[in-house]
A and B are shown apart, each in its own frame.
Chain A
Amino acid sequence: MSNTIRRVISVVTVNEHGVLSRIAGLFAGRGYNIESLTVAPIPETEYSHFTIDTEGDKKVLEQIVKQLHKLIPVLRVTEHAGDEYVEKEMALVKLPIAESLSDIDALARSYNGCIANVGEDYIIAMVTDSSSRVRNFLKAIKKYNPKEIARSGVVAIER
C-alpha cells in the first residue's frame, strides 16, 4: 500500500551503557524495521557511532529520525540519501577447500575482497563493499558451496 524506501541512518550517541537497548527498544516498540545495525565507539571522544540500515515509507522514516533524536543520549542523527555518502559492509564466507582457490580469489577481488584464510578443510573469503554489491557477491559465490556466511551491518559516512 505504501512505498517502502531503504535508508541508512547514522546516529551519534553518548557512549554510555544502555544506549544500544534504548535504540533497539525504540525500533522494536514502535514496530520499525532494522535490517542491520552496527555500533562502535568514536576514537578519542565520549561518543559512539551507530549505523542503522532500515526501511519504511516516508512517514515512518521521518518518525524514525525524530524518535531517535528524542532519545536523551543522542547527539546527532543523519539520514543518508542519494550518493552523498559512502557505505560499506563486509562479509566472510567459509568454503570447502575442494573448491577452486583461484576462482574464489578472483571473485572476491572483484568485490573489493580477498582470501582471508586457507586452512586444512576450509577457505575463508572476505569482501567489503556496498550492501547491494555484497548481496551480489553472495549470490555469485553460491555455486562454490559456501558452508557458512557471516555478514556485518552497514557502516556509512557522509562524503
Chain B
Amino acid sequence: MELTGSSMVIEALNQESVDVIFGYPGGAVLNIYDEIYKQNYFKHILTRHEQAAIHAADGYARASGKVGVAIVTSGPGFTNAVTGLATAYTDSIPMVVISGQVPTSLIGTDGFQEIDAVGISRPCTKHNYLVRTASELPRILKEAFYIASTGRPGPVLVDIPKDVSAELAEFNYPKEVHMATYKPKIKGNPRQLKKAVEAIKSAEKPLFYVGGGLLASDGVASFRELVAQTHIPVVETLMARGSLRHDDPSLLGMLGMHGTYASNMAMSETDLIIALGARFDDRVTGKLSEFGKNAEIIHVDVDPSSIGKIVDVDYPIVGDLRSVIEDLAPLLKDYEPSSIEEWIKRLENYNKIHPLGYQDSKTTIKPQWVIEKVGQMYKEECVVVTDVGQHQMWTAQFFPFVNKRQLVTSGGLGTMGFGFPAAIGAQKAMQDKIVFNFTGDGSIQMNSQEMMTAVIEKVPVINIILNNNYLGMVRQWQTFFYEDRLSETNLEAQPDFVKLAEAYGAIGYRVDTKEDFEKALTDAVAKKMPCFIDVVVDRDENVLPMVPAGGTLYNMILEYKDQ
C-alpha cells in the first residue's frame, strides 16, 4: 500500500498502540498535523510550549512505563524541545519525538526555521534520525520505538523534512527489528552471578543500592521478593523511590546529598554494595575517595558503560535487572538473614539516633508537613510529580511512597519547569489516579502556561506550590556556603497564583494555615479540576540532612544553626 510520509507516521503510531501524543504544530509539520486531524487512532494534546509537550510525553512514560510520544516543528519548535530531550535522556526515559524539518532541498541553506536537529540532539538522545526518503520511514519509526524502549531506555528523535512527509512510498510496517549493531543483553553471565552470590553470602554488611534501572526493567516486584527473602537492607536513589514501600523494615530511605543518616552511614560502613540499576551519581556518592571505602561492589546494569565509569567494580554483571534478580533469587534460597542480624540492628540504631524529621510549628506551615499530610490522605491512590528544588527533596524524603512509578521527578538533569507538564502527561497515563505536582514558587513559573492545556483538556492536576518567596535551594546554598549573601534568589515579587489560576479558568487557593490547607486539598480532590494551591510556608526552612557538594557521606549537616 502506498502512503504519504505523514500517513505512515499516523499508521506507525497506531501499530505501536500509542493512545495519546503531545505536541505543537508549525510549518514543517503541517502535513503530519493534517493527517492527525483526519485520524481517530489516538488523542493529540496541544500544549502551550514545545518544552511542555516533551515533558508531558516524558511524564506519561515515567508514570506508565510505556513509550511517550511528542511532535514539534522545525527550528525553534525543535530547540524548545531540547531541554525535554535532555531531561529524558539523563533519566533514561523511553520516548519517541518527531520533529519537522525544512524540505530536503533547503537543508543546509539556512532556510526559514531551519536548524540542525540531529546535530543538536546527538548528545541528548539515545539515537536520532534524519529521514531522507519516505521509503525508509517505516523502518526508522519501528527502530525508533524499539531503541527507545529496550536496553537502557532513552529518547529517540526522528527528524522528518517537509517534502518527505508529503512523499508517497510503499508502507509495510515491519513486525520485527533487525539491527546487527544493536542487541541489548538480557541474561546476566551465569558465572558472574555465581561469584556475586558467593560474595553476598559471605558479606557481613551487605547493602542493596537501587536506582532507576529497577523501574526501567520492571523489576520492582521481583526485587521486593528478594528483599523479603534476604532481609538485606536497602537504600534508594531519588529515581528509585517507591521501589520498596515506605514502611518496609528493610528500607533505610534515600541516600546521598539529602539522604537519611542511616542510608549514608550504611553506605559508608557496608562491606558489599549491591548496585542494581544505579549509576553512582555525584549527588549520591559525595567524595569518591571516601565512598564505600570498606566495600566490594557488585554492579548490575544493562548499560555496560555505566559499570566501572565512576567506581571500580569487583563483580560486574551486564544484563536486564529483572532477569538478573530473578536468576539471583533461587541461588540465594538458602541465604540466612540471621547472619546479618547485627548489621541490621546497627542500622536500625542509626535511624533511631538521627531519624528524618523537622521542627513542626503551630504558627507557620512547614513544607514537610504539607507533603506528609498529602501522603497520609492519598498515598494509596496518587501519582506524585515534582519540580526541582527544595520541595523536590522534601517530597523524596517525606512522602510515604507505596508503589513503583509513584514518583515522577527530573533527577539527573534537574529541570525546573518539568513538574506541571509532566503531571499532565502522568495524569493522561493514569486516569484513575489523583496527580499531585509538588512545586515551588520558582519552578511553577517556568511552565505555568500549561494551566491552559490542563483546563481545556480537563486534566485535573493539583499543583501544590510550596511558596517560600525564594528560589529556595539556591537560597539554602547561599545561606550555608556564601555567608547568607542572597544573590538574586528573592522571589517576593510574584504573581497572585489564585488569580493566575482563575485567569485560565482553573481553581486557585491560597492558604497559610494547616486547616485551610486541608480544606483546600479536599476541595481540590473533590472538584477534579486543575488548580494551584498556593501554600505559604516557612521561608527559612532548609533541606536536611545535607552532605555538602564533594563532602563525605558520613559527614552530614544534620541541623543548621545561625551563626
Report the Cα distance A13→B180, complex, angstroms: 10
| CB contact under 8 A between A18 and B304, given known A25-B123, A74-B181 | no
Judging by beta carbons under 8 Å apart, are B118 and A69 in contact?
no
Task: Judge whether A67 and B147 touch: CB under 8 Å.
Answer: no
CB-contact partner of B118 in A14, A18, A66, under 8 A: A18
B546 within 8 A of A: no
A72 touches B305 (CB 8 A): no
Question: Total number of A-B contacts with CB less than 8 angstroms?
Answer: 38
Asked if residues A70 and B303 are in contact (CB atoms below 8 Å), the reply is: yes
Tell me whether A22 is interfacial, beta carbon within 8 Å.
yes
CB distance from B108 to the nearest CB of A (A): 12
A41 at the interface (CB under 8 A from B): no
Complex contact B118–A75 (CB within 8 A): no
Tell me, rounded to whole Å, the shortest Cβ–Cβ distance linking B89 to chain A: 12
Q: Which residues of A13-72 have CB atoms within 8 Å of chain B's CB atoms? A: 13-14, 17-18, 21-22, 25, 29, 59, 62-63, 66-67, 69-70, 72
Tell me the bound Cα distance from A155 to B48 in angstroms: 52
Interface of A is mostly: helix
Residue A153 at the B interface, CB < 8 A?
Answer: no
Interchain CB contact under 8 A, B181 and A75 = yes
Query: Which single residue of chain A is at the shortest CB-CB distance from B127?
Result: A72
Give A152 Cβ to nearest chain B Cβ, in Å. Answer: 26
Number of interface residues of B (CB under 8 A): 17
Interface size for A (C-beta < 8 A) is: 19
CB distance A72 to B147 under 8 Å? yes
Q: Is A73 on the interface with B (CB-CB < 8 A)?
A: yes
Query: Which residue of the partner chain B has the closest CB to A66?
Result: B305
Contacts of A72 in B (CB 8 A): 126-127, 147, 179, 181-182
In the bound assembly, the distance between CA atoms of A69 and B305 in angstroms comes to: 9
Contact of A21 among B119, B303, B304 (CB under 8 A): B119
Return the contact of B305 from the options A14, A18, A25, A63 (Cβ within 8 A): A63
In the complex the two chains form, is A21's CB within 8 Å of B122's CB? yes
B38 CB–A CB distance under 8 Å: no
B305 touches A70 (CB 8 A): yes
* Docked CA distance A33–B224 (Å): 44
| Contact, CB under 8 Å: A66 / B304 | yes
Closest Cβ–Cβ distance, residue A31 to chain B (whole Å): 12
Chain B contacts with A in 429-449, Cβ cutoff 8 A = none
**B179's closest neighbor in chain A, by CB?**
A72
Q: Once bound together, how far apart are the Cα atoms of A74 and B147, in whole Å?
A: 14
CB of B309 within 8 A of CB of A63, answer yes
A73 to B181, CA, bound (A): 6
In this assembly, does B193 line the interface, its C-beta being within 8 Å of a C-beta of chain A? no
Assess whether B130 is interfacial by the CB under 8 Å rule. yes
Bound Cα distance A145, B182 (Å): 51
Q: Are A22 and B122 neighbours in the complex by a CB distance under 8 Å?
A: yes
Which residues of chain A come closer than 8 Å to B309, judged between CB atoms?
A: 63, 66
Most chain B CB atoms below 10 A, which of A29, A66, A72, A73: A72
The answer to the question of B357 belonging to the interface, with a C-beta cut-off of 8 Å to chain A, is no
Q: Is B308 part of the contact surface with A, judged by Cβ < 8 Å?
A: yes
In the docked arrangement, what's the CA distance between A129 and B179, Å? 37
Do B303 and A18 touch across chains, with their CB atoms under 8 A apart? no
Which of A18, A73, A75 is the one whose CB lies under 8 Å from B130?
Answer: A18
Contact B305 A29 (CB under 8 A): no
Q: Which residues of B contact A29 (CB under 8 A)?
A: 123
Q: Provide the residues of chain B in CB contact with A75, threshold 8 Å.
A: 180-181
Q: Give the residues in chain B near A67, CB-CB below 8 Å.
A: 305
CB distance from A11 to the nearest CB of B (A): 11
CB of A147, distance to nearest CB on chain B (Å):
36
Give bound CA distance, A70 to B118, whole Å.
17
Binary per-residue interface labels of chain B (293-311) against chain A in the complex, 1 for a CB within 8 Å, 0 otherwise? 0000000000111001100
Tell me the chain A residues, 111-156 only, with Cβ under 8 Å from chain B: none
CA distance A69 to B130 in the complex (A): 21
Question: CA–CA, A18 to B511, complex, Å?
Answer: 54
| B127, B181, B182, B308 — most chain A CB neighbours (10 Å) | B181
User: Within the complex, what minimum Cβ distance (angstroms) separates B150 from chain A?
Assistant: 11
Report the nearest A residue to B152, measured CB to CB.
Answer: A70
Among A86-123, those with CB < 8 Å from B are none
CA distance A67 to B126 in the complex (A): 12
Instruction: Report B175-202 CB contacts with A as 1/0, cut-off 8 Å.
Output: 0000111100000000000000000000
Of chain A, the residue at the smallest CB distance from B182 is A72
Complex alpha-carbon distance, A104 and B43, angstroms: 75
- CB-based closest 10 A-B pairs: A66-B305, A72-B127, A75-B181, A29-B123, A66-B304, A72-B182, A70-B305, A25-B122, A67-B305, A73-B181
- Other A-B contacts than A13-B181, A14-B180, A67-B305, 8 sampled, CB-CB below 8 A, are A29-B123, A66-B305, A69-B305, A70-B305, A72-B126, A72-B182, A75-B180, A75-B181
List 23 interface pairs A-B (beta carbons < 8 Å), by A numbering: A13-B181, A14-B181, A18-B118, A18-B122, A18-B130, A22-B122, A25-B122, A25-B123, A29-B123, A62-B308, A63-B305, A63-B308, A63-B309, A66-B304, A66-B305, A66-B309, A69-B304, A70-B304, A72-B147, A72-B179, A72-B181, A74-B181, A75-B181
